[in-house]
Amino acid sequence: MLDISNSPFYVGVLGAVAGLPVLLFSFFGGYLSDRFNRFSVLFFAHSLIFLQGAFLTIVIAIGHIDLLTLIGTSFFLGTGMAFEVPARQGLVFDLVGREDITNALALHSTAFNLARFIGPAIAGYLMAIGWLAACFAIKALTALLVIGALIIILKKGYARPKGHSPSKRPGMRMGISFVRSHRVVRSVLLVIFVFGIVLLPYSVLLPSLGRDVLGLGAKEYGLLCSSNGFGALTGAIFVAIMGHRGKRIDWWWTGALAFPLALGCVGMASGYLQAAIGLYISGFFMVICATSAISLIQIHAPDELRGQLMGLFTTSFMGFFPLGSLAIGGLASLIGVQATLILQGGTGLVFVLLMKWFS
């Protein structure tokens, strides 16, 4: 998108379009995963993800990629993610139970962020040698691998836990009512909501930070993004080892305070190494924040509402990314990428401090 448009604003538009289905459909996707089999929802979601990757592989290979194609396929991908994330998060709890959920989520996050660490480095190398289509071919292949993993779990004899039956047919309003009445879940979702708008869209600024501010090529940019993924990976491993020690609420506030602070430091970076270190630290604490938030919500959630609450989390954390992407992309065009990153970090930090003070 940056090559086609040469504008950070259109990179923001791309992120907005990709995130719009998450805003529109995540809560409904979580509701469906409560009412029906989570595997059916996951098979549907990963089929969409596979089709998006396969289609982009073809159009890039034949040289017919353009702005509208990127926007349309991003919406398609976002639709798959909207149904996939709440069902996947609920499935983790179903498989391990309440006692082991923090460690299971940390291992889940470790696997996820290992891909975030390795993926950009591989993609940056493939782009540097002119194999852009191969990136999306790999993307399509991984969707098929996930479908295969789901089939293996089914063959192992997965069964629904007690209290999680379609016959209960929980209404869509029940999840919202539960959040209103539960102080911990309500405060976590409010912070995650602000992070989703203000902080998470920092990713749409990284192409401009790498190319226009730091003067990096595709290969170096891939390594810069990998530093963020490596921080997230080590954060997930840290939670897997230490998450059972101390209070989960303490881990949550630690991550929520440190994440925006680290992101502001990225905006102050004057060179590649400083930016990479800042992105590593921000990735580390972002995962501690997100994993602790999911753990707290999962532990306090009734079984019949778990999908809905994870749908609300997904909506808050990822669904408002479109609004944030547009605002952050436009702001960066006006005041610059680095100033925008500093403003994002400062705003997020002030909000968390206020929430902690009044909670």
Q: Is residue 137 part of a domain?
A: yes
Q: Is residue 7 part of a domain?
A: yes
Q: Which residues of 5-34 are buried (b: 16+ CB within 10 A; e: fewer)?
A: eeebbbbbbbbbbbbbbbbbbbbbbbbbbb
Handedness of CA 77, 150, 300, 249 (dihedral sign): negative
The region of weakest confidence among 33-42, 128-137, 210-219 is 210-219
Residue-wise pLDDT tens digits, 6-42: 776 787 788 778 878 888 888 888 888 888 778 888 9
Domains in the chain: how many in total? 1
Q: Is residue 77 part of a domain?
A: yes
Residue-wise pLDDT tens digits, 279-309: 999 989 998 888 888 888 888 888 778 888 8
Whether the predicted pLDDT of 231 surpasses 70: yes
H/E/C letters for each residue in the chain?
A: CHHHHCCHHHHHHHHHHHHHHHHHHHHHHHHHHHHCCHHHHHHHHHHHHHHHHHHHHHHHHCCCCCHHHHHHHHHHHHHHHHHHHHHHHHHHHHHHCCCCHHHHHHHHHHHHHHHHHHHHHHHHHHHHCCCHHHHHHHHHHHHHHHHHHHHHHHHCCCCCCCCCCHHHCCCHHHHHHHHHHCHHHHHHHHHHHHHHHHCHHHHHHHHHHHHHHCCCCHHHHHHHHHHHHHHHHHHHHHHHHHCCCCCHHHHHHHHHHHHHHHHHHHHCCCCHHHHHHHHHHHHHHHHHHHHHHHHHHHHHCCHHHHHHHHHHHHHHHHHCHHHHHHHHHHHHHHHCHHHHHHHHHHHHHHHHHHHHHHC
Residue at token pair 């691998």: 145
Residue-wise pLDDT tens digits, 141-179: 999 999 998 888 888 766 454 444 444 555 667 778 888
What's the pLDDT at 138?
A: 92
229: left (phi over 0), alpha (psi -120 to 50) or beta: alpha
Residue at token pair 């995130």: 19
Residue type, 342: I
Residue at token pair 């999840």: 175
pLDDT-derived band at 52 (thresholds 50, 70, 90) equals very high
How far is 47 from 144, CA to CA, in rounded Å?
A: 8
Q: Is residue 22 part of a domain?
A: yes
Structure tokens at 221: 């940019």
Whether the predicted pLDDT of 197 surpasses 60: yes
Q: Is residue 164 part of a domain?
A: no
pTM of the model: 0.72
Question: Domain range for residue 228?
Answer: 2-158+172-358
Residue-wise pLDDT tens digits, 241-269: 776 565 778 888 989 999 999 999 988 98
Residue-wise pLDDT tens digits, 93-115: 888 877 777 778 778 877 776 77
Residue-wise pLDDT tens digits, 307-324: 888 888 888 887 787 788
What's the pLDDT at 56?
A: 92
Query: pLDDT over 70 for what percent of the chain?
Result: 93
Query: pLDDT over 90 for what percent of the chain?
Result: 19
How far is 196 from 321, CA to CA, in rounded Å?
A: 6
Q: Is residue 84 part of a domain?
A: yes
What's the pLDDT at 247?
A: 72
Structure tokens at 65: 């990629």
Identify the CATH number of the domain in which residue 6 sits. Answer: 1.20.1250.20
Q: Is residue 163 part of a domain?
A: no
Residue type, 167: S
Q: Is residue 131 part of a domain?
A: yes
Query: Of the candidates 262, 275, 264, which has an alpha carbon nearest to the alpha carbon of residue 225?
Result: 275
